[in-house]
Structure 1
Amino acid sequence: MNGAISVVGIGADGWDGLPARSRRVLGSAEVLIGGPRQLDLLPAAECPGERIAWPSPLRPAVPGLFAAHEGRTIAVLASGDPTFYGIGRTLAETVGAERLNVLPHPSSVSYACARLGWALEAVETVSLVGRPLAGLSASLHDGRRLLVLSAGAETPAEVAGLLREKGFGGTRMRVLQQLGSDRERIVDGVDGTADTWPHERVDPLNVIALDLVRSPEALRLGAVPGLPDEAYEHDGQLTKRYVRAATLAALAPAPGELLWDIGGGSGSIGVEWMRTDRSCRAVAVEKDPVRAARITRNAAALGVPALQVVTASAPDGLAALPTPDAVFIGGGLTAPGLLDACWGALPAGGRLVANTVTLESEALLARWYGEHGGELVRLAVAQAVPVGGFTGWRQAMPVTQWSVTKAGAGA
């Protein structure tokens, strides 16, 4: 492999735990690159190559670092499996997967499942390394097993605090330290739950195992769109639950796709788009700064803190945004040029969904439906309410929804 870069996984057991092939690669490398902890695991006698610690910030420095050592044999050290939340992905994206010769080691997740007797394929893994704690919230479901890749010594205490805050204080919580080494240890609390977690700090090299238990009093958040309205902080500007579920069905999010949520309000469409898959992305465009701040809080509370909020009017605020896979317009439909700008931004195959409750906007949608096709539907929801000593129906304002998929060039 011309100009190959070897990427060698190493565990907490260090040199002794490496297979012969990984030892040969590291022993013959002229340049050894890694974090200080990984480099310290290599004996100098067996690995005489020049040692270079990763600079910070890492990603922008990668191409120049390898260019500076062109023509020399290079080995990069990684914790465990390099392509599982490791440096392998960064290297593939910056220097090209074809240049990499990856030699994996068992990951900390593999070790953890082996120690706990958990089926690896049945466990969700959430990384908090370089990621906000709030991102864990989207994965909290009663009866589920989670493995959390810890950011350091204080992460388990922070996770315990989040679990208590979200109504999951009864969750069984164990911390597995130094997996694979002779210092391996499992730490738990007084009664084994997040409610009574006593440790402010543990060994920084740890994985957190959670058997999730939701309090009966806690708000139940399902795994599909249509979360309860009370899950959101809002001022009344909220796409209500049943209309929201129908709207997400029309938008049809798929992994890795980007949504523009225009007239974000409380951010519910963007939030639930991102909750469908960890790789989904969304940008909420909201001109009111108070509402924009509220969207940010809702996104963090519901486990998708990466939702981007742009405080601007549409269509002016759309020009600098990346190309969307789908667009939702929940407000401001009659703003001059808004529908034209959204339609022009969509690539072939992109979807557009617009909701309205006013006759003026409905007429506009009817015209666009006539020009571009798609589906034009009216969504009506009624709820049972007391009427004296009886029960009757209270009708919410009907919502007109236009959904369309953009055809090829010239459509």
Structure 2
Amino acid sequence: MSTAPPAASAPRTPARVTVVGIGADGWDGLPDAARAALRGAETLVGGARQLALLPAACAGERVPWPAPLRPAVPGLLAAHAGREVCVLASGDPMFYGIGRTLTEVLAEAGAPPPRVLPHPSSVSYACARLGWPVEETEVVTLVGRPLTGLAGALHDGRRLLVLSAGAETPAQVAGLLRDRGFGPTRMRVLEQLGGPDERQSEGTAADWPPPAGGTDPLNVIALDCARAPDALRLAAAPGLPDAAYEHDGQLTKRHVRAATLAALAPAPGELLWDVGGGSGSIGIEWMRTHRTCRAVAVERDAVRAGRITRNADALGVPALRVVTGPAPEALAGLPAPDAVFVGGGLTAPGLLEACWAALPPGGRLVANTVTLESEALLADWYRRHGGELVRLAVAHAVPVGGFTGWRQAMPVTQWSVTKSLSPAAPSAPGDAQ
């Protein structure tokens, strides 16, 4: 007689988790509901600075956040199972705060979401001090994220609020702005917003002076972006100048790149495989279309793979993932893509088959080539699966003696197709399968 194995027990969670937003004004700035939650909590969790803001009337056990924070959350909640837990967060807990992490962890455990009592965020305070409409102000966080992520948001005339990672962040931001040609940008650092020690420092990125006495770790940086006259202009749309990239000639050129991104049709949150990454331009410009777009660049050459990483940092998308190895072998284990671009190695055995198999229904595949052999391969796939087969020809005006003539670049054959939402027999050319 066999017996079924016992069911795995669900993770133990607290009786209730309440998240309280708190500002630099501490206890005095909290409403009655937040104060009552903190007084009644059996466990108080937060940063050391936040816990120090609470009076003795908050008698619960005080537990500072461990580091790294995210992996420690499930264990911490399990250690206080059955208790009333109150978590302290800076400002609005659901705005780049701990509220999201707690909600996800509790959902994974099958527990109800936390009760959230928000405080005005540092963004709300900063916009109030600056007179900036919140809905027109772009926010970039550098808390736990690479400094180079700021580069993608730099555009002449734009207002940005940068959530600082600490006292050194303003000087680091000023250095990045200078390196990216935005030295004339006006910088204002707002410290201890909403608290009794609130203050503001101002200067330009080109000559940023550390304020007397140093910068408080609790700061927000306001930028009025201004590009230097001689700096390369980088638009928000695909088709950046070729000069924006470090490359060895393996670069999808500007006009073909713009046409390729149009065929790939990125949408927020989607994932691209950039197979045969070269200099990384397709994956980089895919990610620049929206901050939630993701990309994996697959490149067999280690030198080029390193170049892709440097280009991604320079152009503000440090989250681009680079996989070094030959395709299709290097594609194994990658998360399923919403779109695939093949810019090289089309004739590698099994490459197109692997890319096609990985695409879900509705996914897009775009492949470019300049060789007759690869063109014949694309023509065969077009015959079998439909889509669109085009030839892109670009010519540039160049001096011819004392006159001007056209210099033709190598034509590019491009096949683009959307995978059918339901199985069907091959259709006539021009229809996607």
Q: TM-score range by the shorter chain?
A: over 0.9
Equivalences for 1:231-380 in 2 at 5 Å? 231-380=244-393
Q: Report the Cα distance in structure 2 between the residues aligned to 1:60 and 1:111, rounded to whole angstroms.
A: 31
2:41 maps to which residue?
A: 29
Match of 2:150 among 136, 142, 157: 136
Name the counterpart of 2:6.
none
Q: Which runs of 5+ in 2 are unaligned?
A: 1-13, 425-433
What SS does the aligned partner of 2:291 have? Answer: coil
Q: Report if aligned partners of 1:334, 1:361 keep a CA contact under 8 Å in 2.
A: yes
Match of 1:383 in 2: 396
For residues 116-131 of structure 1, the aligned pairs below 5 Å read 116-131=130-145
User: For 1:320, what is the secondary structure of its paired residue?
Assistant: coil
Partner Cα distance (1:373, 1:25) in 2: 62
Residues 16-69 of structure 1: per-residue CA shift (max 9 Å, x gap): 000111111111111111111111111122x11111111122212212221222
Q: 2:222 aligns with which of 209, 221, 235?
A: 209
Summarize deviations over 1:209-246 as a string: whole Å, max 9, x none: 00011011000000011000000000000000010001
CA distance in 1, matches of 2:385, 2:53: 63
**Deviation at 1:409?**
5.1
Q: CA-to-partner distance for each residue in 1:81-107, whole Å, 9 max, x for gaps?
A: 001111011112221284211111000
Q: Which residue of 2 aligns with 1:185?
A: 199
Structure 2 residue 164 is the aligned partner of structure 1 residue 150: yes
> 1:8: how far off?
0.8
1:38 aligns with 50
- Please state if 1:93 is matched with 2:104: yes
Q: Distance in 2 between matches of 1:244 and 1:396?
A: 14
- Give distance in 1, aligned partners of 2:303 and 2:113: 48
Q: Cα deviation per residue 1:347-385 (whole Å; 9 max; x = unaligned)?
A: 111111100111111111111111111111111111111
Partners of 1:14 and 1:403 in 2: CA distance: 57
- Give 1:7 deviation, angstroms: 0.8
3-state SS of paired residue (1:22): helix
Q: Which of 202, 207, 210 is the equivalent residue of 1:199?
A: 210
Per-residue Cα deviation, 1:327-354 (whole angstroms, up to 9, x for no partner): 1000000000000000111111111110
8 A Cα contact 2:238 2:289, kept in partner: yes
Note if contact 2:182-2:228 (Cα within 8 Å) is conserved in structure 1: yes
1:114 and 2:128 aligned: yes
- TM-superposition CA deviations, 1:169-218 (whole Å, max 9, x none): 11111100000000000012xxx211111118411110000001101100
Which residue of the partner structure matches residue 18 of structure 2? 6
Q: Distance in 2 between matches of 1:398 and 1:89?
A: 49
Q: Is the 8 A contact 1:228 1:241 kept in 2?
A: yes
Structure 1 distance, partners of 2:206, 2:68, is: 37
Question: What residue identity is the alignment partner of 1:360?
Answer: E
> Could you tell me how far apart the structure 2 residues matched to 1:37 and 1:286 are?
45
Correspondence list, 1:60-99, <5 A: 60-96=71-107, 98-99=112-113
Find the aligned partners of 2:327 and 2:294 in 1 and give their Cα distance. 19
Q: Aligned pairs, how many? A: 406
Instruction: For 2:71 and 2:322, locate their aligned partners in 1 and report how far apart those are by CA, in whole Å.
Output: 25
Which secondary structure does the structure 2 equivalent of 1:99 belong to?
coil
Contact 2:16 2:83 in 1 (8 A): no
Counterpart amino acid of 2:305?
A
Query: Are 2:204 and 1:228 aligned?
Result: no
- Cα RMSD, aligned residues only: 1.3
Give 1:20's match in structure 2, choosing from 32, 35, 39. 32
Show structure 1 runs of 5+ residues with no match.
none
Structure 2 CA distance for aligned equivalents of residues 99 and 169 of structure 1:
45
CA distance in 2, matches of 1:402, 1:44: 69
